[in-house]
């Protein structure tokens, strides 16, 4: 009797004569595996980009491995180096690559054996005498005998699930294009649940919901199949059950086999080895899963696990305030209603529940736990969440807690909804009556329930996913006695681009403020981005909060990498964070709240994350050594800031210069800007298919960085933001321009001022700070007009009998901005607005200082004659190429052997704006 391998070769020869397509050979392998006592299944053609061609599995459903096939004439050595195969062998632990003649076996990404069963020529001739049948048999045996090892950790489970769920999302997105039932499902969700839901977000929501539904059931059963899931999903997850039902109605092998993949992965999960505690689910599973699944989604939605010390500090502080200022026994009060509007995995809620549990045990005894939680907590505590994954995990965590109290099959008031959307259409039926009722109930809670406590960790996303008209108006209108965030002192904000007020966390603070105002009293406790503490853009927000609340506590945890703060962030993010606790208890004596501020960086000198955690664990609002802030117009800072009434009387540069703007943005610097004029001309001509002579008409010099003037193709029709109304005054005639900024986005001494004679780029003084440009003269037709405001011209006219020239004024301003005394005296205030300029009482004094400014301008423009005298030498042999700039022993090296000498350390470290000149600019 012929062996299976021999029969395979004979049939392969017959198939070869038929000149089949690649998939025509699949039945050969499937039959071969069948003869080996295992099953094989051809995966749908539509999804070949995501999965190999054939899945091989045991009769009990466990997957053995995958096979990627190529036509017999293909070179599998070449294919083994392709991106497709590299991806497969890394994804799939047990993987075969074959052209039906040669077989490569990979285990855990590494090649373990390659066998050419027979040569292509011998196969065509039917000459099998030299066939490597034993080696072929051994390779198949090794492949078939591989057993997927149990998954023993939640981290491993998260990583194994992530890419499978991503494929499921992609398949749902494809199905959405052609499936009217799925399109109707999307439209219903947009109408009744999430108004702003996009197709990709819909596919993502469904994919995560399905995966987590299976995960929940797997935590309760030893083995799962999708057909059994509906009856096993707990009542607390009605929405997830409904989503699952809708997807199972869709006929399609593609969705079915991907869900089976997820099933198989979950069935490999060893529940006994991996203790699925709430902490494990949140920290190791959800965070790991989301990071592997879609890190961009994590960023867009601002999804980050909140470390326990932060949660503990906020929850403990609120408990103390409830006892001290509200006459309550902490969270133990039948009238207390509490909400986490961005519940995530319910970390904050569970900390409250744990503290409440201990309070009840100590005061009235453990025998009352079940009845109090069942009758009071489950009626008065609420949470919202927009993403399905944390929603499911949150329900699982709370159900585990309730189970420990003997409370079975009771649903915590946790709703899959957007806290910032208040009104949805009334839906009598949305897949199920229960879901429709739940959506209506969530909206009712947002509108009507009077909350005493609102707490949590809102999303931090600066690019807000919540941009509906309803949400934006919530910030821009006075609502229920809450002043809007876009005005201050009764006037509109003077901000050209108040985009940071659109950050998600701002909207959640507004939501909390509004809810407490409607309640008449209460507490908001959030961990958020710390920008609202002192950024001038938020001054309207600060004034509004001051009017609503009676006391505000700000614990600034810093860690702002964008400002180059030296300490470690408590999250893995760039922006610094702060805990804000806002109290409305009726104790306010004046118009505004009392504000208390504490900095872990300045007051405690805590640099590491663990040092901050230790501080949070051992403190609360009652034990922190607060400094009292004195918020005043026009900025209402939430931290102690050196006030200077004298400085406020000086004119700002935007009150001196009439016309100004930020620098230009090309959108493609590498195309439109160059050091070499000819290279730029030729590149633009080629890229834009323009005549060279036409290109030359638009070539201008541009101040790109300090001491770094380049060439630009300045044709506004091709640039992203040309700022033509301002920059046109710098194109052909002689002019001077001042570059400075409105506020400091990096720490350290103020140093944001420079001069130029040409147009400027947006990041000319810093990549972190918006740079503004003020030309000295405006050119209109044949007229040259000083670019001064009427207010400033009248001020100078009244101040001096002899009028200074425009140049003298410019030089004077420049000298002031570089004055060490000025920078030291007003350094803190310079970080929050355009520089203010003090003018001397006499013209003679102005003229004297202006001479220093003129000298400095010539030096910075590299036009001063003193620059012709060299005090530094270029030493060392080499190719004169700048390879790596470094500093040592008063030498600035441009490569290993060549350097400039002598250069003092303070010269090497000298900065203009955010740039260290000798390190970042001079040797470009």
pLDDT given at position 923:
59
Residue 1 scores a pLDDT above 60: no
The percent helix, strand, coil of the chain (3-state, each to 5) is: 45, 15, 40
Give me the pLDDT at residue 302, please. Answer: 46
Q: Encode pLDDT of 708-758 as tens digits.
A: 999 999 999 999 999 999 999 999 778 999 999 887 766 678 889 999 999
Which token pair is 374? Answer: 């069942």
List alpha helices for 179-219, DSSP H.
Answer: 180-192, 199-218
Highest mean pLDDT: which range of 234-238, 309-313, 695-699 = 309-313
The confidence band for 921, taking pLDDT boundaries of 50, 70 and 90, is low
pLDDT tens digits along 251-295 = 666 677 788 888 888 888 887 776 666 566 666 676 777 777 776
Are 387 and 202 in contact by the 8 Å Cβ rule? The answer is: no
CA–CA dist 144, 37 (Å, integer): 10
Measured between its terminal Cα atoms, the distance across the chain in Å is: 77
Report pLDDT for 295: 66
Which run of H or E residues covers position 263? Answer: helix 253-267
Position with higher pLDDT, 63 vs 863: 863
Structure tokens at 594: 């009392």
Specify whether the CB–CB gap between 85 and 69 falls below 8 A.
Answer: no
pLDDT at residue 268 in the model: 85
Provide the token pair at 642.
Answer: 């050196």
Burial of 21 (C-beta count, 10 Å sphere; 0-12/13-18/19+): exposed
Contact yes or no for 813/755 (Cβ under 8 A): no
Q: What are phi and psi of 832, to 5 degrees?
A: -115, -10
How far out from the chain centre does Cα 371 lie? 42
Each residue's pLDDT tens digit, 582-628: 999 999 988 999 999 999 999 999 999 999 999 999 999 999 999 99
Confidence of residue 49 (pLDDT cuts 50, 70, 90): very low
pLDDT tens figures, 527-551: 999 999 998 889 999 999 999 999 9
pLDDT at 841 over 90: yes
Nearest to 737 by CA among 752, 719, 759, 718: 759
Q: Does an H or E element contain 413, and which?
A: strand 413-416
Q: How far is Cα 495 from Cα 490, in angstroms, rounded to an integer?
A: 15
Strands 39-42 and 54-57: antiparallel
Cα–Cα distance for residue pair 126/290, rounded to 1 Å = 53
Q: Which pLDDT score is estimated for 664? A: 94
| 871's tokens | 């005090």
Alpha-helix runs per DSSP H in 66-119: 76-79, 83-91
Per-residue confidence (pLDDT) for residue 103, from 0 to 100: 96
- Looking up tokens 């005090």 gives 871
Tokens matching residue 480: 């229920």
Q: Which pLDDT score, from 0 to 100, does residue 297 have?
A: 60
User: 692: closest CA among 667, 673, 713?
Assistant: 713
Beta bridge partners of 523: 453, 583
- CB of 310 closer than 8 Å to CB of 527: yes
Give the residue among 652, 856, 669 at the shortest CA–CA distance from 772.
Answer: 652
Q: DSSP labels for 615-665?
A: HHHT--TTTS-PEEE---TTT--SS-----HHHHHSEEHHHHBSS-EEPBB
Count other C-beta atoms under 10 Å from residue 909's C-beta.
Answer: 12
Residue 254 contacts residue 45 (beta carbons within 8 Å) = no
């Amino acid at each position: 009797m012929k062996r299976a391998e021999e029969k395979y070769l004979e049939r392969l020869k017959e198939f070869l004569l038929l000149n089949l397509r690649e998939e025509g050979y699949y039945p050969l392998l499937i039959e071969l595996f069948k003869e080996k006592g295992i099953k094989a299944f051809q995966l749908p053609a539509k999804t070949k980009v995501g999965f190999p061609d054939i899945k091989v599995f045991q009769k009990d459903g466990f997957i053995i491995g995958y096979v990627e096939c190529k036509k017999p004439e293909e070179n599998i050595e070449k294919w083994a180096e392709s991106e497709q195969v590299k991806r497969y062998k890394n994804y799939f632990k047990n993987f075969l690559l074959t052209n039906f003649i040669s077989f490569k076996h990979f285990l855990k990404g590494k090649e373990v054996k390659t066998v050419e069963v027979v040569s292509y020529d011998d196969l065509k001739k039917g000459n099998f005498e030299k066939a490597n049948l034993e080696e072929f048999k051994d390779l198949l045996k090794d492949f078939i005998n591989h057993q997927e090892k149990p998954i023993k950790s939640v981290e491993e489970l998260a990583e194994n699930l992530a890419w499978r769920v991503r494929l499921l999302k992609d398949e749902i997105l494809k199905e959405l294009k052609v499936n009217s039932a799925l399109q109707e499902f999307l439209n219903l969700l947009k109408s009744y649940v999430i108004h702003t839901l996009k197709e990709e977000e819909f596919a993502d929501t469904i994919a995560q919901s399905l995966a987590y539904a299976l995960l929940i059931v797997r935590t309760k059963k030893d083995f799962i199949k999708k057909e059994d899931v509906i009856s096993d999903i707990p009542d607390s997850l009605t929405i997830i059950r409904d989503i699952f039902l809708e997807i199972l109605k869709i006929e399609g092998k593609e969705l079915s086999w991907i869900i089976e993949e997820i099933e198989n992965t979950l069935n490999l999960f060893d529940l006994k080895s991996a203790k699925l505690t709430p902490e494990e689910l949140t920290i190791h599973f959800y965070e790991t899963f989301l990071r592997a699944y879609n890190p961009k989604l994590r960023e867009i939605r601002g999804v980050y696990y909140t470390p326990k010390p932060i949660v503990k500090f906020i929850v403990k502080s609120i408990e103390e305030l409830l006892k001290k200022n509200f006459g309550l026994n902490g969270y133990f009060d039948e009238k207390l209603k509490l909400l986490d509007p961005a519940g995530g995995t319910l970390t904050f809620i569970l900390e409250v529940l744990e503290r409440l549990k201990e309070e009840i045990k100590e005061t009235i005894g453990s025998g009352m736990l079940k009845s109090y939680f069942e009758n009071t907590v489950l009626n008065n505590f609420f949470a919202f969440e927009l993403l399905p994954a944390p929603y499911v995990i949150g329900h699982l965590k709370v159900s585990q807690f309730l189970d420990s109290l003997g409370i079975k099959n009771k649903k915590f008031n946790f709703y899959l909804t957007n806290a910032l959307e208040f009104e949805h259409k009334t839906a009598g039926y949305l897949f199920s009556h229960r879901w429709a009722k739940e959506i209506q109930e969530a909206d009712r809670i947002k509108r009507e329930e009077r909350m005493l406590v609102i707490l949590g960790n809102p999303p931090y996303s600066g690019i807000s996913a919540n941009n509906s008209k309803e949400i934006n108006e919530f910030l821009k209108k006075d609502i229920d006695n809450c002043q809007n965030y876009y005005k201050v002192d009764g006037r509109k904000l003077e901000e050209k681009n108040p985009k940071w007020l659109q950050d998600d966390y701002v909207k959640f603070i507004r939501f909390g403020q509004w809810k407490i105002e409607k309640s008449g009293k209460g507490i908001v406790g959030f961990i958020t981005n710390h920008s609202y503490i002192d950024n001038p853009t938020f001054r309207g927000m600060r004034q509004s909060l001051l009017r609503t609340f009676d006391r505000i506590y700000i614990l600034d945890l810093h860690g702002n990498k964008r400002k180059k703060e030296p300490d470690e962030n408590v999250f893995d993010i760039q922006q610094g964070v702060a805990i804000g606790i806002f109290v409305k208890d009726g104790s306010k004596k004046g118009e505004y709240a009392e504000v208390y501020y504490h900095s872990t960086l300045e007051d405690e000198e805590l640099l590491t994350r663990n040092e901050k955690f230790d501080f949070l664990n051992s403190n609360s609002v009652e034990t922190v050594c607060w400094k009292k802030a004195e918020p005043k117009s026009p900025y209402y800072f939430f931290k102690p800031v050196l006030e200077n009434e004298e400085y406020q009387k000086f004119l700002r540069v935007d009150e001196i210069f009439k016309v100004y703007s930020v620098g230009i943005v090309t959108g493609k610097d590498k195309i439109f800007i160059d050091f070499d004029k000819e290279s730029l001309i030729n590149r633009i001509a080629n890229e834009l298919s323009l005549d060279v002579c036409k290109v030359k008409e638009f070539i201008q010099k541009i101040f790109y960085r300090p001491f770094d003037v380049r060439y630009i193709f300045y044709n506004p029709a091709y640039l992203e933001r040309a700022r033509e109304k301002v920059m046109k005054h710098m194109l052909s005639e002689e002019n001077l321009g001042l570059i400075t900024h409105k506020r400091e986005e990096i720490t350290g001494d103020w140093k944001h001022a420079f001069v130029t004679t040409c147009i400027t780029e947006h990041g000319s003084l810093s990549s972190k700070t918006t740079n503004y440009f003020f030309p000295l003269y405006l050119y209109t037709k044949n007229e040259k007009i000083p670019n001064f405001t009427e207010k400033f011209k009248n001020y100078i006219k009244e101040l001096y009998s002899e009028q200074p020239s425009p140049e003298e004024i410019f030089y004077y301003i420049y000298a002031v901005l570089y004055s060490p005394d000025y920078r030291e005296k007003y350094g803190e205030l310079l970080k929050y607005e355009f520089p203010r300029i003090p003018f001397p009482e006499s013209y003679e004094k102005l003229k004297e200082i202006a001479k220093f400014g003129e000298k400095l301008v010539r030096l910075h423009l590299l036009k001063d004659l003193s620059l012709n005298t060299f005090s530094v030498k270029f030493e060392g042999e080499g190719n004169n190429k700048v390879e790596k700039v470094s500093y040592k022993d008063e030498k600035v090296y441009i490569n290993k052997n060549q350097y400039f000498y002598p250069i003092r350390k303070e010269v090497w470290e000298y900065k203009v704006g955010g740039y260290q000149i000798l390190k970042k600019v001079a040797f470009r």
